[in-house]
Structure 1
Amino acid sequence: MSLLPPPGPARRLALMALVVCVLSVAAAVVAFVEGSFVGVVWILMAGISSNMAWFYVRKAKTQRAGAAG
């Protein structure tokens, strides 16, 4: 069983949020390596996008479970 929702809007939103999360973590690492504290903002963005990704995955799972049962 896949961790991602079936194809549709929830899957696209979950994947986009996951991509934003990975990119913001990379931006935070670069910012901290350069000595900038702007990385804190990138870490906060990573947290928000991570929560969005999990929200859409769980939402799709509950919709699937409701439709199946």
Structure 2
Amino acid sequence: MGDTGRAPYARPPTTPSTPVTPPTGADPMPRLALYALVVCLLATTAAVVAFVRGEIWLGVVWVLLAGLSSNMAWYYQRRAKAAGRAGAS
């Protein structure tokens, strides 16, 4: 859009063995696992409330969402552990 006067961001050189992290230094994978776990817990709570109120079909939908989000949490946590092991060696 225009020249801000700052030097352009230069990415550091990476090799296939070093993981690429955002410029902030944050590692997004454990955060995604945490978000998926929170969604799983909320969906489980919503399923229990739906079943207690007698809304069977809505409860089933919440159970399916809880299953999906728990699989996502497991996947992202496993991916973070694998990245940690690859970075340590």
The alignment's TM-score, normalised by the length of structure 1, stands at: 0.86
Alignment correspondent of 2:67: 47
Unpaired runs of 5+ in structure 2? 1-25
Q: Considering Cα pairs closer than 8 Å and 6+ residues apart, tell me whether 1 or 2 has the greater RCO.
A: 1
Q: If you compute each CA radius of gyration, which structure gives the higher value, 1 or 2?
A: 2
Alignment correspondent of 1:62: 82
Paired amino acid for 1:60? A
> How far is 1:10 from its partner?
0.7
Runs of 4+ in 1 over 4 A off after TM superposition: none
The alignment's C-alpha RMSD in Å is: 0.9
The alignment's TM-score, normalised by the length of structure 2, stands at: 0.67
SS of corresponding position for 1:40: helix
Could you tell me the percent identity over the aligned residues? 59
> How far is 1:8 from its partner?
2.1
Alignment correspondent of 1:4: none
Alignment of 1:27-38 (within 5 A): 27-37=46-56, 38=58
Q: How many residues end up aligned between the 2 structures? A: 63
Q: 1:13-49 CA deviation, whole Å, 9 max, x = no partner?
A: 1111000000000000000000001100000000000
From the two aligned structures, give the one with the greater helix fraction: 1
Unpaired runs of 5+ in structure 1? 1-6
> How far is 1:12 from its partner?
1.3
